[in-house]
Amino acid sequence: MIREYDYYLFDADGTLFDTTEMICSCFEHTAEQFGKQYDKKLVKTHIGMTLRKQMEIYYGPLTDQMFETFRTAHMDYQLSIYKDFLVLCPGVKEALSELVQNGKKCAVVTSRMMYTLELFLKEMGIFSFFEVLVTPESTLKHKPDPQPALKALELFGSVTPQKAVFIGDSPFDIECGHRAGMDTAFVKWSHNDKSLLSVKPVYYLNDMRQLCENS
Protein backbone atom coordinates (compact mmCIF):
# COMPACT_ATOMS: atom_id res chain seq x y z
CA MET A 1 0.00 0.00 0.00
CA ILE A 2 1.31 3.45 -0.95
CA ARG A 3 1.04 6.09 1.74
CA GLU A 4 -0.47 9.50 1.10
CA TYR A 5 1.75 12.44 0.11
CA ASP A 6 1.09 16.13 -0.45
CA TYR A 7 3.42 16.46 -3.46
CA TYR A 8 3.89 14.11 -6.40
CA LEU A 9 6.89 14.56 -8.69
CA PHE A 10 6.81 12.73 -12.01
CA ASP A 11 9.42 12.03 -14.63
CA ALA A 12 8.00 12.51 -18.15
CA ASP A 13 9.45 10.15 -20.78
CA GLY A 14 8.66 6.54 -19.96
CA THR A 15 6.70 7.53 -16.85
CA LEU A 16 3.84 9.78 -17.98
CA PHE A 17 4.02 8.95 -21.66
CA ASP A 18 5.68 6.23 -23.68
CA THR A 19 8.32 7.81 -25.90
CA THR A 20 10.99 5.09 -25.97
CA GLU A 21 10.47 4.03 -29.58
CA MET A 22 10.16 7.66 -30.67
CA ILE A 23 13.49 8.54 -29.02
CA CYS A 24 15.18 5.49 -30.53
CA SER A 25 13.81 6.39 -33.96
CA CYS A 26 15.24 9.91 -33.60
CA PHE A 27 18.68 8.61 -32.68
CA GLU A 28 18.59 6.19 -35.61
CA HIS A 29 17.62 9.02 -37.97
CA THR A 30 20.39 11.30 -36.68
CA ALA A 31 22.99 8.53 -36.80
CA GLU A 32 22.11 7.77 -40.41
CA GLN A 33 22.19 11.46 -41.34
CA PHE A 34 25.69 11.96 -39.92
CA GLY A 35 27.20 8.57 -40.81
CA LYS A 36 27.27 7.22 -37.25
CA GLN A 37 26.58 3.72 -35.97
CA TYR A 38 23.16 3.08 -34.40
CA ASP A 39 22.93 0.99 -31.23
CA LYS A 40 19.36 0.79 -29.91
CA LYS A 41 20.33 -0.91 -26.66
CA LEU A 42 22.82 1.84 -25.83
CA VAL A 43 20.24 4.54 -26.60
CA LYS A 44 17.60 2.93 -24.37
CA THR A 45 20.06 2.54 -21.49
CA HIS A 46 20.59 6.30 -21.24
CA ILE A 47 17.08 7.63 -21.79
CA GLY A 48 16.42 9.95 -18.87
CA MET A 49 19.63 11.93 -19.16
CA THR A 50 19.76 15.30 -20.87
CA LEU A 51 19.95 15.10 -24.66
CA ARG A 52 23.50 16.46 -24.70
CA LYS A 53 24.66 13.87 -22.17
CA GLN A 54 22.97 11.11 -24.17
CA MET A 55 24.55 12.29 -27.41
CA GLU A 56 28.03 12.55 -25.91
CA ILE A 57 27.78 9.03 -24.51
CA TYR A 58 26.54 7.88 -27.89
CA TYR A 59 28.62 9.95 -30.33
CA GLY A 60 31.58 11.03 -28.19
CA PRO A 61 32.60 14.55 -27.05
CA LEU A 62 30.80 17.33 -28.92
CA THR A 63 31.60 21.00 -29.23
CA ASP A 64 28.69 23.39 -28.72
CA GLN A 65 28.44 23.84 -32.49
CA MET A 66 28.48 20.10 -33.15
CA PHE A 67 25.88 19.47 -30.48
CA GLU A 68 23.61 22.14 -31.90
CA THR A 69 23.85 20.55 -35.36
CA PHE A 70 23.01 17.10 -33.98
CA ARG A 71 20.32 18.47 -31.67
CA THR A 72 18.58 20.39 -34.46
CA ALA A 73 18.44 17.34 -36.72
CA HIS A 74 17.26 15.14 -33.85
CA MET A 75 14.53 17.48 -32.60
CA ASP A 76 13.29 18.54 -36.04
CA TYR A 77 12.73 14.88 -36.80
CA GLN A 78 11.10 14.27 -33.42
CA LEU A 79 8.62 17.08 -33.98
CA SER A 80 7.73 15.57 -37.35
CA ILE A 81 6.93 12.10 -35.95
CA TYR A 82 5.83 12.50 -32.31
CA LYS A 83 2.10 12.20 -33.03
CA ASP A 84 2.70 8.72 -34.45
CA PHE A 85 4.33 7.52 -31.21
CA LEU A 86 3.07 9.48 -28.22
CA VAL A 87 0.74 7.59 -25.85
CA LEU A 88 0.00 7.83 -22.13
CA CYS A 89 1.30 5.17 -19.79
CA PRO A 90 -1.13 3.03 -17.73
CA GLY A 91 -3.64 4.98 -15.64
CA VAL A 92 -1.82 8.31 -15.93
CA LYS A 93 -4.70 10.65 -16.73
CA GLU A 94 -7.06 9.01 -14.25
CA ALA A 95 -4.45 9.13 -11.47
CA LEU A 96 -3.53 12.76 -12.07
CA SER A 97 -7.17 13.78 -12.14
CA GLU A 98 -7.91 12.04 -8.84
CA LEU A 99 -4.78 13.36 -7.13
CA VAL A 100 -5.57 16.96 -8.09
CA GLN A 101 -9.23 16.57 -7.10
CA ASN A 102 -8.01 15.43 -3.69
CA GLY A 103 -5.89 18.55 -3.25
CA LYS A 104 -2.50 17.06 -4.11
CA LYS A 105 0.18 19.08 -5.92
CA CYS A 106 1.87 17.62 -8.99
CA ALA A 107 5.11 18.45 -10.78
CA VAL A 108 7.08 17.16 -13.74
CA VAL A 109 10.83 16.78 -13.22
CA THR A 110 12.39 15.80 -16.52
CA SER A 111 15.47 15.92 -18.72
CA ARG A 112 13.25 16.94 -21.65
CA MET A 113 13.45 20.61 -22.62
CA MET A 114 10.52 22.86 -21.77
CA TYR A 115 9.22 23.41 -25.31
CA THR A 116 8.54 19.77 -26.15
CA LEU A 117 7.53 18.94 -22.57
CA GLU A 118 4.71 21.49 -22.71
CA LEU A 119 3.81 20.38 -26.23
CA PHE A 120 3.56 16.71 -25.25
CA LEU A 121 1.67 17.40 -22.01
CA LYS A 122 -0.88 19.46 -23.93
CA GLU A 123 -1.12 16.87 -26.71
CA MET A 124 -1.90 14.19 -24.11
CA GLY A 125 -4.43 16.40 -22.27
CA ILE A 126 -2.60 16.42 -18.93
CA PHE A 127 -0.86 19.82 -18.93
CA SER A 128 -3.38 21.41 -16.54
CA PHE A 129 -2.68 18.89 -13.77
CA PHE A 130 0.82 20.26 -13.10
CA GLU A 131 1.65 23.37 -11.09
CA VAL A 132 5.42 23.01 -11.46
CA LEU A 133 7.61 21.98 -14.41
CA VAL A 134 11.34 21.43 -13.90
CA THR A 135 13.42 20.96 -17.06
CA PRO A 136 17.15 21.22 -17.88
CA GLU A 137 16.69 24.98 -18.22
CA SER A 138 15.70 25.11 -14.52
CA THR A 139 18.90 23.84 -12.86
CA LEU A 140 22.66 23.76 -13.30
CA LYS A 141 22.85 20.06 -12.43
CA HIS A 142 20.59 17.32 -13.74
CA LYS A 143 19.37 13.86 -12.79
CA PRO A 144 20.68 11.76 -11.10
CA ASP A 145 21.84 14.79 -9.08
CA PRO A 146 19.13 15.75 -6.53
CA GLN A 147 19.02 19.37 -7.70
CA PRO A 148 16.02 19.01 -10.08
CA ALA A 149 13.87 17.33 -7.41
CA LEU A 150 14.85 19.93 -4.83
CA LYS A 151 14.09 22.69 -7.34
CA ALA A 152 10.53 21.37 -7.67
CA LEU A 153 10.06 21.52 -3.90
CA GLU A 154 11.48 25.04 -3.89
CA LEU A 155 8.99 26.13 -6.55
CA PHE A 156 6.17 24.64 -4.49
CA GLY A 157 7.24 26.88 -1.60
CA SER A 158 10.25 25.20 0.02
CA VAL A 159 8.32 22.16 1.25
CA THR A 160 10.11 19.32 3.03
CA PRO A 161 11.14 16.21 1.05
CA GLN A 162 9.24 13.97 3.47
CA LYS A 163 5.98 15.32 2.05
CA ALA A 164 6.87 14.28 -1.50
CA VAL A 165 7.30 11.18 -3.63
CA PHE A 166 9.26 10.96 -6.88
CA ILE A 167 7.86 8.65 -9.57
CA GLY A 168 10.09 7.54 -12.44
CA ASP A 169 11.13 4.82 -14.85
CA SER A 170 14.93 5.07 -14.81
CA PRO A 171 17.80 4.66 -12.34
CA PHE A 172 18.43 8.40 -12.76
CA ASP A 173 14.94 9.23 -11.46
CA ILE A 174 15.12 6.96 -8.44
CA GLU A 175 18.59 8.18 -7.48
CA CYS A 176 17.56 11.83 -7.94
CA GLY A 177 14.56 11.47 -5.64
CA HIS A 178 16.44 9.38 -3.10
CA ARG A 179 19.35 11.83 -2.89
CA ALA A 180 16.83 14.65 -2.39
CA GLY A 181 15.46 12.85 0.66
CA MET A 182 12.17 11.74 -0.90
CA ASP A 183 10.42 8.42 -1.12
CA THR A 184 10.51 7.02 -4.65
CA ALA A 185 8.32 4.85 -6.87
CA PHE A 186 9.51 2.88 -9.90
CA VAL A 187 7.03 2.21 -12.71
CA LYS A 188 7.13 -1.42 -13.78
CA TRP A 189 6.22 -0.62 -17.40
CA SER A 190 9.73 0.85 -17.71
CA HIS A 191 12.11 -0.52 -20.34
CA ASN A 192 14.72 -0.55 -17.55
CA ASP A 193 15.25 -3.76 -15.58
CA LYS A 194 14.34 -3.08 -11.95
CA SER A 195 17.06 -5.49 -10.80
CA LEU A 196 19.67 -3.10 -12.17
CA LEU A 197 18.54 -0.08 -10.14
CA SER A 198 21.46 1.31 -8.12
CA VAL A 199 19.04 2.57 -5.44
CA LYS A 200 16.05 0.50 -4.38
CA PRO A 201 12.75 2.44 -4.65
CA VAL A 202 10.22 2.46 -1.84
CA TYR A 203 7.40 1.39 -4.19
CA TYR A 204 6.85 -0.42 -7.49
CA LEU A 205 3.85 0.60 -9.61
CA ASN A 206 1.95 -1.60 -12.04
CA ASP A 207 -0.47 1.22 -12.81
CA MET A 208 -0.32 4.92 -11.92
CA ARG A 209 -3.71 4.69 -10.20
CA GLN A 210 -1.99 2.88 -7.32
CA LEU A 211 -0.88 6.34 -6.16
CA CYS A 212 -4.51 7.16 -5.36
CA GLU A 213 -5.25 4.25 -3.05
CA ASN A 214 -4.82 6.43 0.05
CA SER A 215 -5.22 9.93 -1.41
The domains found in the chain, sorted by start residue, are 7-18+88-212 (3.40.50.1000), 20-85 (1.10.150.240)
Mean of all residue pLDDT scores within the chain: 95
Mean pLDDT of 117-146: 97
pLDDT of residue 215: 57
Mean pLDDT of 34-42: 89
Beta-ladder partners of 166: 9, 184
Residue 36 has pLDDT above 90, yes or no: no
| pTM exceeding the 0.85 threshold for the entire prediction | yes
pLDDT of residue 193: 85
Residue 74 has pLDDT above 90, yes or no: yes
Residue 11 designated active-site: yes
Mean pLDDT of 20-48: 92
Q: Of the residues 11, 18, 173, 183, which is catalytic?
A: 11
